[in-house]
Amino acid sequence: MSRASRDEGFVEFVQARRTHLRRIAYAVCGDWHRADDLTQTALTKLYVAWPRVSRDGREEAYVRTIIVRADIDEHRRPWRRESVGLPDAERAGREPLPVEDRSALFDALQALPPMQRKVVVLRHWLGLSVAETAQELRISQGTVKSHSHRGLESLRGVLSEERH
């Protein structure tokens, strides 16, 4: 594969999927600025692996995995353990979402613990199977099921409270 055709295929993929991948990153991390960083990290790593990944047609799964793992890695960094500012302050930089329900769902999703949020996004927003979710997060299928159940119960509780 020539470098020109490699770059052309990569650019086409990025133009077609960047917005979708950014939304996935936002759903995983809950912050648009971090979502941009995660998306950029994922696309950089995809570019390096593009010849191998594009042959198999696994581009999107590869990028999704990188987004989730990069977010997990970021949470493990020591400086992420320190909290700056007020804990209940509204997050700056959020883009307004067009639909009220969607906004409420994203807010409720961000209230979930990080691993529950990742499981719910992968399982119920992206439609991955239990096995695929377990493989992407490197956890057992039983853990996926329990995180999914707890996450959905929390979302139901928060969203039903908002409707009343």
At residue 83, φ and ψ (nearest 5 deg) are -105, 130
CATH code for the domain defined by 1-77: 1.10.1740
Tokens of 159: 């969203």
The arithmetic mean of pLDDT across residues 115-120, rounded, is 93
The arithmetic mean of pLDDT across residues 114-124, rounded, is 92
**What value does the mean pLDDT of the chain take?**
83
Domain with CATH 1.10.1740 in the chain: 1-77
The arithmetic mean of pLDDT across residues 38-52, rounded, is 92
Query: Do the beta carbons of residue 120 and residue 48 sit within 8 Å?
Result: no
The arithmetic mean of pLDDT across residues 41-52, rounded, is 92
Question: Which of the two residues, 57 and 63, has the higher pLDDT score?
Answer: 63
Look at residue 83 and tell me whether its pLDDT is greater than 70.
no
Residue 99 corresponds to which amino acid?
Answer: V
Question: Which of the two residues, 162 and 49, has the higher pLDDT score?
Answer: 49
Architecture label for domain 99-164: Orthogonal Bundle (1.10)
pLDDT band at 88, cuts 50/70/90? very low
Tokens of 34: 């971090």
Distances (CA, A) of 132 to 54, 60, 118, 127: 19, 13, 13, 10
Query: Do the beta carbons of residue 9 and residue 25 sit within 8 Å?
Result: no
List, in order, residues 6 or more apart from 19 with CB less than 8 Å away: none
The arithmetic mean of pLDDT across residues 41-70, rounded, is 91
For the entire predicted model, the pTM comes to 0.58
Q: H-helix or E-strand containing 121?
A: none
- How far apart CA 110 and CA 29 sit, in angstroms, is 8
Domain with CATH 1.10.10.10 in the chain: 99-164
Tokens of 33: 């600025």
Q: H-helix or E-strand containing 159?
A: helix 141-163
pLDDT band at 86, cuts 50/70/90? very low
pLDDT band at 92, cuts 50/70/90? very low
Query: Do the beta carbons of residue 117 and residue 28 sit within 8 Å?
Result: yes
pLDDT recorded at residue 64 = 93
